[in-house]
Amino acid sequence: MFLALKLFCVVATAFTTASASNILNVKPFRIDLESEIPRLKSLIKNTRLPAKDLYPAAGLDKGLPLDSLRQLQTDWLENFDWGTQQAALNEFSHYTVVIEGQTVHFVHEKSKDPGAIPVILLHGWPGSFHEFSPIIKPLTESWTSNAGKNVSYNVVVPSLPGFVFSSPPPANWTMDDTARIFNTLMTDVLGYSTYAIHGTDWGSVPAYTLYSSFNLTVRAAQLVFIPFLAPSPEEIAANNITLSDIQKVAEQRSIDWGTTDQGYFTEQTTKPNDIGLALYDNPVGQLAWIAGLMKRASDPRAGTPPSVLDNTAILTSVSLYYLTDSFPILYAPLLFSQYEYNPAFWPEEYIAKIGNLVSYKVHDFGGHFAGLDNPPALIEDIREMGLYFKA
Ligand X SMILES: *[C@@H]1O[C@H](CO)[C@@H](O)[C@H](O)[C@H]1NC(C)=O
233 or 303: whose CB is closer to ligand X?
A: 233
Minimum distance of ligand X from residue 145's CB (angstroms): 9
Sheet arrangement for strand 117-122: 23-29, 94-99, 102-109, 153-158, 117-122, 195-199, 218-223, 333-339, 356-363
Residue among 223 and 236 whose Cβ is closer to ligand X: 236
> In angstroms, what is the minimal distance from the CB of 116 to ligand X?
12
Q: How many CA atoms does the CB half-sphere of 381 hold within 13 Å?
A: 29
Answer for the pair 89, 31: CB distance below 8 angstroms, yes or no: yes
Torsion sign, CA atoms 329, 334, 338, 344 = negative
What distance in Å separates the CA atoms of residue 265 and residue 386, rounded to the nearest whole number? 34
Q: Of the two residues 28 and 331, which places its CB atom closer to ligand X in the complex?
A: 331
- Measured from the CB atom, is 14 or 54 closer to ligand X? 14
Please state, in angstroms and rounded to a whole number, the distance separating the CA atoms of residues 175 and 271: 19
Closest separation in Å from C-beta 83 to ligand X: 37
Q: Give min distance, CB of 79 to ligand X, in A.
A: 41
Minimal distance in Å, beta carbon 113 to ligand X? Answer: 8
- Least distance CB 171 / ligand X (angstroms): 7
Please, which residue, 12 or 278, has the CB nearer to ligand X?
A: 12
Maximum pairwise Cα distance, the chain: 61
Which C-beta is closer to ligand X: that of 347 or that of 366? 347
Q: Report in angstroms how near the CB of residue 87 gets to ligand X at its nearest.
A: 31
By beta-carbon proximity to ligand X, the closer residue of 173 and 280 is 173
Find out whether the peptide bond into 170 is cis, omega within 30 degrees of 0.
no
Q: Calculate the alpha carbon distances from 116 to 23, 89, 136, 262 in Å.
A: 25, 23, 13, 40
Q: Kindly tell me which of 206 and 292 has the beta carbon lying closer to ligand X.
A: 206
144 or 273: CB nearest ligand X: 144
Do residues 164 and 207 make contact, with C-beta atoms less than 8 angstroms apart?
no
Nearer to ligand X, 205 or 332 (CB): 332
Distance CA 104, CA 159 (A): 7
Q: Which residues sit at the interface with ligand X, rule CB under 6 A?
A: 142, 144, 148, 150, 170, 172, 215-216, 239-240, 328-332
